[in-house]
Structure 1
Amino acid sequence: MRTTSRPRGTAASAGRADGIAALRARAAKARARNAGRVADDRAHRLLDAYLAAAERHGRPAREVIADLARGEAAWQIGMALHDQTMAAPPDILRNAACGEGCAFCCILSGGDGGTTTEAEATRLHAALAGRAGEPDGRNWHPEACPALDPDTRACRAYDARPIICRSFLSTDASACEANAQGGTEPGSGLLGSHLDYLAVLALIRETLKGMTRVPTYSLAQIAASAVGGADLATSLDTARHPSRVLDAACRDMARAGAAGRGRRL
């Protein structure tokens, strides 16, 4: 049975004219757990701007809550940050060593398998469902993302790839290969804007606590289920994370940034 995110419980304000105003008030009191004070402050500004825009456009509060819960709002905010960075790329982006076929960042050896939202998981599943039964990235490496073509190592769901995939960057391809084998070489990691995205998602979860669930899912498991022929409902049930995974992702990104390590760029 599919366990999707739907408003429930105490979401009484969602049906009233002041529903979004009430959401903004709830968000102002919430905190992005484990993201750190600076990222938490940015997440508050980003989420409030999103909610303020929804309020100006007269969007129904129930519709906004649904977009928050399934990760569509975090996706829009994260993509806006990504596009802003790409519009005026810093030197680290202009000097990136990334290229098609250099897929060491697609070896998903972390315990979470890559953290994605329901909206991202749904898009990824749709992009891969037609490839059920085909050889996949695990034919190249046992922990590679199943979205990869095993021969070319190109992503077969490139346009539908989650924000975490869009956030990886390297200035040294050899460092990527070493890190994929368990190393800690500098020069490869995640853009700092990824912490902002995670912090927004964590803030949304705290804002909606008691109203609806805000689940996350394993990218690796969603992709594996899709190419294995499982339907979306089954894939989501199989890939759903325990709630602690998002907290851990925020903590790890915040620690990497504070320590100045290469995992956050």
Structure 2
Amino acid sequence: MNVITKKTDPKSVTESAASRTYSAPALDKGLDILELLAEVETTLSQREIAKRLGRSVGEIYRMLARLVDRKYISLVNENYHLTTKLFELAHRNPPTQRLLVEARPIMQALSTALGQSCHLTVYGQGKQVVIAKVDVPNGMGFSVRVGAELDLIVSVSGRILLAFQDGATQKLRIAEAVARSPEHANTLIVTLLDKIRERGFESASSVQVRGLYAVSFPIMDSQGHAVAALTVPYAERIDLPDRKTIADVENTLGKAAKHLSALIGG
């Protein structure tokens, strides 16, 4: 009896494996709980969590207990909330940690020199996240909180994180930003980003806060890509005779960003 063996194309096997979807219901439940608690501004009871996730209380009971045991969430007065563990894990990541260590003294000096607050943002899934900030030295001005999620296309710092990327990365980030905030779609965005890249930084009036001006520079890696954006939201103090001008901000911030880039190997 002759046995006919069919040849298998290695390429088709690879493509099949790459397109296979794996199911991990328990992991999905845990991630759903963490993402839900990250989105709400208040604590939630077990019943409220189950209702919002479209699951039964019995489905999530053990998962909640394990997340409490592993200290990802905390149970206080029958309500659950996120702990700081996820934040701590993110900052243990070597590139992020190195960036933060080098950035802190530079940002302190920058804020003192300008009399303005400053913050550092990185890209993440169609948005930017504030990973460090220094408040206004004299206590009066504009600042954002660490952990805040900011838009990309309509913000000065967001456009920095888009402009200083290779073409494929830039295209992907724009698509993710538009998917997150469709109202920010802009057919001229690529042209605008090209001009920012040629200029080396972005400096413009805020379209989100009236009367606020923002200046942002990229923090570059060794390949010339922006790994972060260092930004000063400039709020003019009309009661100070020796207040810094926007040109002063651009000059001082540019030097600080260049210094930080050099320190992280950019």
Q: TM-score range, shorter-chain basis?
A: under 0.3
Q: Which structure has more helix as a fraction of its residues?
A: 1
Larger-gyration structure (1/2): 2
Q: Which structure has more strand as a fraction of its residues?
A: 2
Higher relative CO (CA 8 A, sep ≥ 6), structure 1 or 2? Answer: 1
State the TM-score, normalized to the length of structure 1: 0.25
State the TM-score, normalized to the length of structure 2: 0.25
